[in-house]
Structure 1
Amino acid sequence: MKKYNFTAGPCILNRTVIEKTAEAILDFNGMGLSIAEISHRSKDFQAVIDEAEALVKELLEVPEGYSVLFLGGGASLEFCMIPYNFLIKKAAYLNTGVWAKKAMKEAKLFGEVVEVASSADANYTFIPKDWTCPTDVDYLHITTNNTIYGTEIRKDLDVPVRLIADMSSDIFSRPVDVSKYDAIYAGAQKNLSMAGVTVVIVKNDVLGRAPREIPTMLDYRTHVDKGSMFNTPPVVPIYCAMQNLRWIKEQGGLKAMDKLAQQRAEIVYNEIDRNKLFRGTVEKEDRSLMNICFVMNDEYAELEKPFFDFATERGMVGIKGHRSVGGFRASTYNAMTIEGCEALVQCMKDFEAQH
């Protein structure tokens, strides 16, 4: 039976990317050695990280004056590194979900944190509107896509202060105007690579202003100066990222990814809205194209587990919703196919016909 991987992360990767990464683990560049065992200082691996960096810059059209870093620790470490490097006195955060709240918690260790707006009272079912960004803060931090609740900010905000974004779950799914941001960071295990590497895009001339001593490994300047090679980088995940970036480029780049994202989401959301058994959990204008969250309608609540079992039998993997939301979540990242979305829809139709 064919499996369709809707897991929120680590998530689906294109099969070709997986196979090429597996080949390199067995024998890298015909060396008779695994990429997992060669020196990260070797010219063979330097070529990998150089190409990965170049592809990030090409696909996102990163302007001059920015560095691309490949670090460890995930977005959770960036929650700390961002205020360590950027927060001087006060920072503003838009609270749109669990990960935004975690980022705020870390920032409070370094200075005053202003919550400009929040949808927590509505269980994060929408992106807050009509809020004002204070002008006396060092930066505004946003989380562009919220994997748990299924909301997404799909535009680059215009704000009067430095803008920093956690794009962990929607980076490389659409074009981004990088020039509007001082820093962008993303755990790779959604649209970019396997788990184990974090991509950071940082504007060079904003570094070094924080009024504190920063531990060596937590100072972005350390990694900028050493080209992500201050310590041993996550070699295999970076290689996987390079292969995936090649694949994205071959598909037509971020405009093509954006078009496919909209097509996939339309297929699934249309069925959620049509099917009498289900309903979406967030306001339509804020629906994520990456994480499609839905539940049983109240009168059919007892069918939640039967549908999950039915879908699992049909090869749908990872569609159970986060425990804080319940219901279901279909994550439709770059590597998810139209076929996979249509298979999920057919599953929903067939289950409706039985009930």
Structure 2
Amino acid sequence: MTQTKPADHPEIQPRKVGVLIANLGTPDSYDYWPMRRYLNEFLSDKRVIDYPSWKWQPLLQSVILTKRPFTSGAAYKSIWNHDEGESPLMTITKAQTEKLRAALEKRYGERVVLDFCMRYGNPSTTSKLRALVDAGCDKVLFFPLYPQYAGATSATANDQFFRALMEEKAQPAARTVPPYFEDEAYLDALAGSVERAYEQIEVRPDTLVVSYHGMPIRYLTEGDPYHCQCQKSTRLLKERLGWSDDDITTTFQSVFGPEEWLKPYTVEEVARLAKAGKKNIAVIAPAFSADCIETLEEIEEEIREAFIEAGGESFTYIPCLNDDDAHIAALSGIIQRNLMGWVD
């Protein structure tokens, strides 16, 4: 016996599988109030700053968020994509999304729907999950675009995804993608970007500085595996390139607050290298899947300046993998493996 739904029943979409890729986030503008909203959301995240609220929030609201939107806004303005009215991270993430969407459509047709969200700012995780559910997705694969796991990146993105799931009446089945720093195709793409960059440099760099976003050392002692995964990432890249230990070094950038962070600090290490006679260096930042404020402003401007002021001569920044075809192929392969059993 055929059953029909009532005339006023909500439209039922054909069942699909959703893929939601996630990046860190971006302010809507580099002006004061958009920057303040963005920084407030970011710096209020207990995964990022885990001090007790009674201790941290008065300082954040009365001092840091009074001054920092001006300095951070100026930094964003220096790299802003004025043609599109957005940050480079937003522009690149959109390009990655379009290419990944095309790759998945070629393999799965309309059975898989891919979109992107930001952990902080817009488009929010909640809004994009809701859009996937409204499109008929009863299964969702969530993919934080961080090769190495850290509580302040992968975990907080997953946290927000799970919070968004809690708001859904018809909650889809869910999976999250684990760290992918050991993925063969990803390593090939990363090594390829280094080799292409070196082919274009007139004088071979004395060393490649592999700069990762830092974190307090305390997080490592409390069990966060990020530092170990960064060290292994450098080793795997070195082996992929067939280099010696002298050709490559690991550093950490973006220190914030009074605590001791993972060392060596990139800004100090590049100056030390210059003073030690290594006048030509290249820098790469493999913890970022897309160029952003930490690479385009911090590395390209602040860290470069520290190297030159210390006597360095040639500083080459090797861009993130962004929407490079090899990178897209690697990410697409990771997605396909994590969709197994849901769609083949």
TM-score, normalised with respect to structure 1: 0.26
Q: Which has the higher helix share?
A: 2
Q: Which structure carries more relative contact order (alpha carbon 8 Å, separation 6+)? A: 1
